Amino acid sequence: MKIGYIRVSTIDQNLARQEELMVKLGVEKIFADKMSGKNTKREQFQEMMKFFREGDTLYVESFS
């Protein structure tokens, strides 16, 4: 399965550009967070890690 993870740093920022890219890439399941990336205690990041299985492919727009 193609899985996408997208994130912006604040609730005021928009995920639309990253969502569009995931759709173009044919990503089937997208997890999104609106919070700082300084640690991994992000709700959707944790959910993605639980969901991810061997054979899945993870798509990330950038590692910033």
Length of the chain: 64
Catalytic option among 9, 36, 62, 64: 9
- pLDDT tens, 8-49? 999 999 999 999 999 999 999 999 999 988 887 899 999 999
- Read off the amino acid at residue 4: G
pTM of the model: 0.89
C-alpha 6/C-alpha 15 separation (Å) is: 7
C-alpha 56/C-alpha 37 separation (Å) is: 23
Q: Any idea where the domains of the chain sit in the sequence?
A: 1-36
Instruction: Return the pLDDT at 62.
Output: 79
Q: Catalytic residue at 9? A: yes
* Token digits of residue 17: 């550009």
* Token digits of residue 48: 């993605």
Q: List the strands of the sheet with 57-60, edge to edge.
A: 29-34, 2-8, 57-60
Residue 64, pLDDT above cutoff 70: no
